[in-house]
Amino acid sequence: MANVVVVGAQWGDEGKGKIVDWLSERADIIVRFQGGHNAGHTLVIDGKTYKLHALPSGVVRGGKLSVIGNGVVLDPWHLINEIKIVRSQGVNISPENLIIAENTPLILPIHGELDRAREGLNKVAKIGTTGRGIGPAYEDKVGRRAIRVADLADRSTLEARIDRLLLHHNTLRRGMELEEIDKSSLTADLHEIAPKILKYSAPVWKVLNEKRKAGNRILFEGAQGALLDIDFGTYPFVTSSNVIAGQAATGSGLGPNGIDFVLGIVKAYTTRVGEGPFPTELDDNDGNRLGERGHEFGTTTGRKRRCGWFDAVLVRQTCATSGVTGISLTKLDVLDGFKKLKICIGYELDGEELDYLPTAADQQARCKPIYEEISGWDESTEGARSWADLPANAIKYVRRIEELIDCPVALVSTSPERDDTILVTDPFED
């Protein structure tokens, strides 16, 4: 049975939640493998809306095992609150259908405080962080001073971890003229939350390898988008983790030979939240129209998303770095009614044409899009579930995108409803 990785192929907000939910019906296990609760997935199922941040999208489907992998940084207080909210919507969550990797690093209140303080003091170029502590938590992970889920089970180990952590953080806080962290208060908070988290703890790498051998289908759910990847994104305006598909192996412990299909989620236009370069951004009526029709506000922050035309250069690039097998094209219906559409097919940089986005930030900021114009359509595509339901020009638009990004379309999404999806290639059967 095929195992599928789902990654965002732009700057996030591509509609991964719906696609993961749609695919989860075919999967046995759904795994979050990177990021934190800075990412948000909105699911609309039978008219009911679920907003998930830390939980895998599969939790709203009965009979599935949801997994939070070691590549995630986890705020335990947020998770428990999110579980409470989702339970109030009639969803059953227990250690039988949700497990957390023992080696998952924790986001603590001090991480959020540091995140917000540094962003507030930054007078050079704000990153646009959500202020939820994800970056500082990853810093502590690579600095070998993180507190991980397994540490909560032993008080002496936990105390040693806290001492090492506070040695670093209190030094930082003194330099920033912030009040030092009280060890006894932090320790008490962790002792209180420990039993609520530890009951979900498991050796995820072992569970996934055993499930794979047993023939279970595994769906890996990415957060954010590949253009926010710490290595291959528009650095420094990126997230603090690797977002591309290769992280699914590292962030879960299954191993790269456990990945059979990579599905890149691609919006039919382009959006971005926060700071950073955006070559096709529109500051005109077309940009406003895309934002209004697409309801472009962040699930996590509520911030208005920047909108622009489809950038084939960027998507071709992310399809390469993630090894995308096929894409899911979402929000096609938002383009209904546009007489003319534009697709970015290259960049002009200082008089030279480029077919990729350069790495240097100053060059990224100077890249100007080279557009190809294509005819739009007046008919509605909303709710279409087959090629026959699409206008001819909409099909031409999809086919042209395939050519430009050098990757086939596997799915087309035409509304937030999970069943309003055109299936071209089933990733689990490829």
Active site residues: 13, 41
What are the phi and psi torsion angles at 378 (to 5°)?
-95, -30
The answer to whether the CB of 9 falls within 8 A of the CB of 266 is yes
Strands in 280-391 per DSSP E: 306-308, 310-311, 326-330, 340-349, 352-354, 368-375
CA gap 334, 314 in Å, rounded? 20
Between helices 392-405 and 312-322, what is the axis angle to 10°?
50
Look at residues 318, 311, 221 and name the one whose alpha carbon lies nearest to residue 272: 311
Q: Which residues of 313-345 are buried (b: 16+ CB within 10 A; e: fewer)?
A: bbbbbbbbbbbbbbbbbbbbbbbbebeebbbbb
Sort 192 into a burial class: Cβ within 10 Å, 0-12 / 13-18 / 19+.
exposed
Cα 169 off chain centre by: 28
Cα 287 off chain centre by: 23
CA gap 145, 282 in Å, rounded? 43
Strand-strand pairing, 306-308 and 270-272:
antiparallel
Cis peptide before 136 (omega within 30 of 0): no
Look at residues 186, 131, 192 and name the one whose alpha carbon lies nearest to residue 164: 186
CA gap 38, 74 in Å, rounded? 10
CA gap 216, 3 in Å, rounded? 9
Strands in 114-260 per DSSP E: 201-202, 218-221
CA gap 278, 102 in Å, rounded? 38
Strand-strand pairing, 218-221 and 201-202:
unpaired
For residue 353, the SS3 value is strand
Q: Per-residue DSSP letters for 74-113?
A: B-HHHHHHHHHHHHHTT----TTTEEEETTPBBP-HHHHH
